[in-house]
């Protein structure tokens, strides 16, 4: 499962169209609305977490852009607190991108930040609470 927090800016011609509903129906994606500011006959702003299979996610983004929706990724970042992590490997079992893996023979959990999609699955799985998510809140408020 792939997940990202996105900012969608709708041109005024689309604010009355079922764009997000189409993402669910046509591309098998799910969403969680974090903020919405949409006025009739004016530009709209929608901040949402969009989830689904990576290929469907990419198709959904292409669909949005083809309609003239401006799509931007909201700054979110996964961090690992090295002092809390005891290298149990629970996060490596759930990481969909391979950003977390076990270095052998040391049995050390490595976090490759470049591969991380910030899906937050590791945050839930970590028994030591060493994995945390940080959002760029300036875009959410």
In a domain, 122, yes or no: yes
Q: Is residue 66 domain-shared with residue 94, that is, in the same domain? A: no
Half-sphere CA count of 49, side-chain side, radius 13 A: 12
Q: Is residue 86 domain-shared with residue 65, that is, in the same domain? A: no
Supply the pLDDT for residue 138: 42
Q: Is residue 25 domain-shared with residue 68, that is, in the same domain? A: yes
Q: Is residue 53 domain-shared with residue 106, that is, in the same domain? A: no
In a domain, 139, yes or no: no
Residue 4 token pair: 């990202």
| CATH number of the structural domain spanning residue 94 | 3.30.70.20
Supply the pLDDT for residue 7: 84
Q: Is residue 84 domain-shared with residue 38, that is, in the same domain? A: no
* Last-in-domain residue among 43, 73, 103: 73
Q: What is the pTM of this model?
A: 0.55
Quick one: CA dihedral 84, 6, 140, 136, positive or negative? positive
Q: Is residue 65 domain-shared with residue 35, that is, in the same domain? A: yes
Average pLDDT per block of 10 residues along the chain, 141 residues long:
82 84 93 80 82 92 93 80 96 91 96 80 93 63 36
List all residues 6 or more positions away from 68 whose beta carbon is below 8 Å from its beta carbon. Answer: 11, 13, 14
Residue 85 token pair: 């992590």
Q: Quote the domain boundaries for residue 46.
A: 2-73
Q: CA 54 to CA 139: how far, in whole Å?
A: 24
């Amino acid at each position: 499962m792939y997940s990202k927090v996105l900012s969608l800016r709708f041109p005024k011609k689309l604010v009355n169209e079922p764009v997000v509903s189409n993402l669910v129906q046509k591309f098998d994606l799910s969403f969680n609305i974090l903020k919405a500011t949409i006025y009739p006959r004016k530009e709209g702003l929608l901040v949402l977490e969009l989830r689904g299979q990576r290929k469907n996610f990419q198709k959904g983004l292409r669909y949005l852009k083809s309609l003239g929706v401006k799509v931007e990724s909201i700054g979110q970042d996964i961090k690992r607190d090295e002092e809390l992590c005891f290298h149990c490997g629970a996060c490596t079992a759930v990481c969909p991108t391979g950003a977390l893996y076990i270095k052998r023979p040391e049995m050390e959990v490595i976090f490759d930040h470049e591969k991380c999609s910030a899906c937050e699955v590791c945050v839930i799985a970590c028994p030591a609470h060493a994995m945390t998510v940080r959002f760029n809140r300036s875009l959410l408020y």
